Amino acid sequence: MTTDATPAVAHSKLTSAQSGPYRDEAAVVDWQADVRGGCATGVRGETPTDGSGRSGEDGPSVRDSTGPSFRSVTVDSDALGDLGTSIEETIEQLGSGVGSLSPAELRLCFESITPIVADYDDRDVRRFLLGVTETVERFDGMAHYHLPAEYDSETVDSIEALFDAVVEVQYGSGGIEQRWHLADPDITTDWLAL
């Protein structure tokens, strides 16, 4: 998920992370909500128009002809539920393909959940995140969500239990560092170079 990027920026990030002739299918789920001004990137698929606020229109293929296409799905509604449904349907479409998915083949990155935690109440945020994480887990996938907030903030505290770990990042004396907070078992690492 790339919340603060256009489909073209999301495509460039995905392209730079891939090497060799094999390229995975990918999609951008573009959320046109008034509460925020970016887009969300998911994995593959298109959503049919069904009156739910999701347009389902594929964007043009922007990958070369040797690999699968990169698609764009637009969510025209401000409703958080419509965004969640579009993301979940996209993941389900990918998981229903030929040969399905191997464990950890599905990767979901939500670049910033800041607009969601800022503009929706805690209950709606938890319900949205739980729905997306349950879908990812159902397909043996991996997901991570970025939130630029202090670890001891109320915001992090309200959603931390939904995740296996929280990773803090900071600029330390030796450069960028990370510290992991694992939920089970309850372990916090020292600051480590990133």
Q: How many CA atoms lie within 13 A of 87 on its CB side?
A: 30
pLDDT in the model for residue 16: 57
Q: What is the pTM of this model?
A: 0.72
Instruction: Read off the pLDDT of residues 85-142 as tens digits, 9 standing for 90 and up.
Output: 999 888 888 777 656 788 888 888 888 899 899 999 999 999 999 999 999 999 899 9
User: Cα 24 from chain centroid?
Assistant: 16
Q: Can you give the pLDDT at residue 22?
A: 44
Task: Answer yes or no: is pLDDT of 4 > 90.
Answer: no
CA torsion 80→85→88→94, rounded to 10°? Answer: -130
pLDDT at res. 33: 65
What is the structure's pLDDT at 35? 57
pLDDT in tens, 78-90: 899 999 999 988 8
